[in-house]
Amino acid sequence: MFKSFLAALFAAAALSTPSIAQTEGASAVSTSIYSDRVAVNGVELYYEVHGEGEPLVMLHGGVNPSDMFGAPLARMAETHKVYAIHLRGHGFSTDSDAPWSYEQMADDLAALLDELEIETVDIMGWSMGGGVALQTAIRHPDRVGKLVVISMSINNEGKFPEIQDQFEAMPAMAPQFAQQLSQSPLATLYPDVDWEAMFRKTGEMNQSGYDWTEDFAQITSPTLLIFADADMMYPEHMVEMYRLLGGGTRDAGIDGSLRPTPNQLAIIPDTTHYDLMLKGADVATDFAKAFLAK
C-alpha cells in the first residue's frame, strides 16, 4: 500500500515537472505576474499570481504542490487571476514547530488574504487543499465567494479503511518515506522542504478522528464538489456530502428551474484520487470554470 502511494506521488511529480520551475520564485506554468512570501502565524507563505480576471485562490494537495500548479493552474489562469498558494511546510513556504491542522491552514489563508487586502475570493482546493478550503468556508465564511472542493471527505468514516490505515502508520514511516523522496524529482523541485516532518505532520493531522458534518451542512458559499469515480472515499460519502448541501432532493424539471440548490456534484470517470488533477485535469477545470462563471 505504501509503495503504491509513493509510486503515485513520484509519477505525479514526473508528469508535472516539465511545466514547473526548478528554482524558487520562478513560474509554475508560465511567467507569473508576481510572486512573494508573506509572514503569517509564525510561517512565511509563498504564493504566485497568474492570469487576469476574477480572483481565485488555488490550494494544492498534500506533499506535492506541482500536481495542482501545473496544467490545472494554467487552465484556470486562462479566465481568472489565480493566487497559487503553497501551504505551510510545503513547496516554497516555510514551517514552524507547531503541528499541522486544516483549521490552522485555513487561518493561515485568511491571514494571507488580509495581507493581500482581498476581502472575498473564490477558492478551489484539491485533497488537503480541499480540506483547507472547507475549513476556510467554515471558519471564515465572509472571505469565501464560491467554493470548488476536489476529492476531500468531511469525516474519517467517509474514507476507505486502507486509506486511514496509511495515515495512522505515516508518522512512523516518515523517515523511510523521506529517504525515498530525497531521490525523487520533488527533492530538486522543492529543495528546502523537511520531508520527514512533512510525512510525520501529514499523518498526524489526519489521525485524529474528525467530523465536520454539522459545520459543512451550514456552508452558504455556492459549492461544486468534484470526485474521481475510484477515489479514496466511499461513493455513498460523496452523495452524502451533496445531500448535506441540499442537492439530490427532487427532479430539477426540464429546464432545470426546479433545481433545489445552486451547489453541484461531479464524478469524473476513469480517474483516481492520485491522477484526478493529471489525466482528469481538463474535465475538472472545465467543470470549475463553468461553475465559477455562473
Question: Can you give the pLDDT at residue 32?
Answer: 73
Question: Can you give the pLDDT at residue 19?
Answer: 36
Per-residue pLDDT of the chain (294 residues; tens, 9 = 90+): 444 555 555 555 444 443 333 233 333 444 578 999 999 999 999 999 999 999 999 999 999 999 899 999 999 999 999 999 999 999 999 999 999 999 999 999 999 999 999 999 999 999 999 999 999 999 999 999 999 999 999 999 999 999 999 999 999 999 999 999 888 888 999 999 999 999 999 999 998 788 999 999 999 999 999 999 999 999 999 999 999 999 999 999 999 999 999 999 999 999 999 999 999 999 999 999 999 999
SS3 category, 129: helix
Given CA atoms 104, 105, 106, 108 in this order, what sign does their dihedral have? positive
Question: Can you give the pLDDT at residue 33?
Answer: 84
Question: Can you give the pLDDT at residue 201?
Answer: 97
Residue 146, H or E segment: strand 144-150
Residues 6 or more apart in contact with residue 50 via CB below 8 angstroms:
27, 28, 29, 30, 32, 33, 73, 74, 77, 81, 82, 84
CATH number for 136: 3.40.50.1820
Residue 26 exposure: Cα atoms within 13 Å on the Cβ side: 13
Structurally, the chain folds into a number of domains equal to 1
Question: Can you give the pLDDT at residue 25?
Answer: 36
State the residue range of the domain holding 53: 2-293
Question: Can you give the pLDDT at residue 253?
Answer: 96
